[in-house]
Chains A and B, each alone.
Chain A
Amino acid sequence: MKGLYGLAGLLLLVEALPRLGLVDDGYLPPATRIAAALGDEVVTAGFWQAVGDTLTGWAIGLAIAVVAGVVIGVGIGAVPVLRAATASTVEFLRPIPSVALIPLAVLLYGTDLGSTLLLVVYAAFWQVLVQVLYGVADVDPIAEETARSFRLGAWARIRNVLWPTALPYVFTGVRLAASVALVLAVTAELVIGAPGLGKMIAVAQTSGAVPDMYALIAVTGLLGVAINLAARLFERRTLAWHQSVRGEVAS
């Protein structure tokens, strides 16, 4: 609830700055005018289509990134030789900004959903992978040794020892990836012109429709908040048994 004070403050600031003449209202309209533009948008089918397109790109991209990140992360993490061999490659590829791949995305997929997915998956994958690697490294060696001495097979050790330890890390990775995926989905639409909210923002920009542009930007912000809240809720539900969440609830 306290978080709402900050938002209210921001809205007041955006309302006041142009009204007091501190910024030109042609470039930053007051919050009420942005809200009115938003009101005009939400009654159009095109707006919801764009929201749907953006969320589709986000969800598919995130799903691919999470599955790939978890599978590859556990695979690499569980085998020390592989982990050592790939460490420098991961560190080399991870900081490459997804947007640098835009020309490649366009050559491969034009302005289709594929372009958005390429950017989203590339950015979100590393978030998950790195967390999974940390999670796997965090396995208690004594628990691992105990499992071995009970002659548990590789699969049973992954299921009973590695996975429960890594799970909170996986969720952190997913939560980070979810936000990053949204940013990249909108960026791809904005720059490449793949269908979605980003493309609508680009069209509003080139048309000089300033209140519309801010309204759509606000929508992407709200989507980000919603996604983060949903991810946290999901994490809390599924990890209710885990120390990290129990501690959080108690405090």
Chain B
Amino acid sequence: MAATACGSSGGSSGETGSDGADQVKVGVIPIVDVAPIYLGKDKGFFANRNIEVSMEAGQGGAAIVPGVVSGQFQFGFSNMTSLLIAQTKNVPIKTVSAGVASTGEQGKDFGAVMVKADSPIKTAADLAGKKVSVNTLKNIGDTTVRESVRKAGGDPKNITFVEIPFANMPAALQEGQVDASWVVEPALSAVKAAGGRLVASNYVDAAPDLTVAAYFTSAKLAGEDADLVKRFTEAINESLTYADAHPDEVRAVLGSYTKIDEKTRGELILPKWPVEINQASVETLAELGRQDGIFEGATPDVAKVLP
């Protein structure tokens, strides 16, 4: 309770709890991707480093970057494209560790472009001129889907991207509001269960072993409390490694912070949690985003974002 009570002070460095541990708030989206941090907390990887971690989960993550910059959260979880967008707008942030990565396997990744079973769309090339849903416009979804289309020999120019929350995509696809949907787990499993067909693994097409998201902090905290950042990074790295090696525990911990039912938890495709940020893949994302005009003419400085 003490952790929540001190929150409104707005200091950028973590508060110190009664037992002397640094109280750290992490802004996350309550989805599969952040299972390692929940698992790491349960396993005591943070407590061992004198960090009392609490997760602040918001829908869609709109609050995460501003929350970290204003010091409401000490760390946040966000996809790489969002972090690159923030960099082009000179938002003072810095990644501290890897977050989540693509499995790198065609057809077996935790995100995919799906169509209805009877859709005339057979390959990514057929997406040209069609209506495709993504959870956020001008972000990692549309830029990687465009790359899938290009790789399959199609023209991504005339795709109409529509913004729909992942949770609503199975219904939107079913009802024919869109021709295809880019979904991640657990919505991916829901689309499959409804008979959906996979046409592209867009993360896999974008870059080998794509680093999809990362944990980050504000430049201010990184400068003021390097020791806390170092300990947090060690704890999250241990959590990522542990999660990658214990998929059953990941599936179990999902039940603690999501409402994904047990059957789906057992079946969904888990992402990869490597410790290293794949720098080449981030540069590819930056280049793809630049081509697609996601950065509004600017070119992100990848080195400024990465640790």
Taking beta carbons and an 8 Å cutoff, which residues of A are in contact with B? Answer: 24, 26-27, 102-103, 106-114, 190-193, 199, 202-209, 212
- Complex CA–CA separation, A113 to B72 (angstroms): 12
Q: Is the CB of A24 within 8 A of B260?
A: no
List the B residue with the shortest CB-CB distance to A24. B174
Task: Identify B259's interface contact among A109, A190, A207, CB under 8 A.
Answer: A207
* Measured CA separation A116–B25 after assembly (Å): 18
A191 contact from B62, B70, B170, B190, Cβ within 8 A = B62
- Could you say which interface size class chain B belongs to? 35 or more
Chain A residues within an 8 Å CB radius of B190 = 26, 208
Distance in angstroms from A21 CB to nearest chain B CB is: 14
B238-264 interface mask toward A, CB cutoff 8 Å, 1 = contact, 0 = none? 000000000000000000011111001
Select one of B59, B171, B264 contacting A202, CB under 8 A.
B59
Min CB distance B68 to A, Å, is 9
CA distance A185 to B222 in the complex (A): 34
Interface residues of B in 148-193 (CB under 8 A from A): 165-167, 170-171, 174, 186-187, 189-190
Tell which of B67, B167, B170, B189 touches A110, judged by Cβ atoms closer than 8 Å.
B67
Contact A208 B63 (CB under 8 A): no
B59 engages A110 (CB within 8 Å): no
Can you name 18 A-B residue pairings with CB atoms under 8 Å?
A: A24-B174, A26-B170, A27-B171, A109-B72, A110-B25, A110-B56, A110-B67, A110-B73, A111-B57, A191-B62, A192-B58, A199-B58, A205-B167, A206-B166, A207-B186, A208-B167, A208-B186, A209-B261
Q: Is there a chain A Cβ closer than 8 Å to B4's Cβ?
A: yes
Whether A107 touches B70, Cβ cut-off 8 Å, given contacts A193-B57, A203-B57, A204-B259, is yes
Complex CA gap A192/B27 in Å reads: 11
Residues of chain B having any CB pair with chain A under 8 Å:
4, 7-8, 10, 25, 27, 29-31, 56-59, 62-63, 66-67, 70, 72-73, 165-167, 170-171, 174, 186-187, 189-190, 194, 257-261, 264
With contacts A109-B72, A192-B58 taken as known, whether A203 is within 8 angstroms of B257 at the C-beta atoms is yes
B56 close to A111 (CB less than 8 A): yes
Known interface pairs A110-B56, A207-B259; A24-B171 also in contact (CB < 8 Å): yes
B62 and A111 within 8 A (CB):
no
Closest to B71 in A: A110
Q: How far is the CA of A112 from the CA of B73 in the complex (A)?
A: 11
Which residues of A sit under 8 angstroms from B174, Cβ to Cβ?
Answer: 24, 27
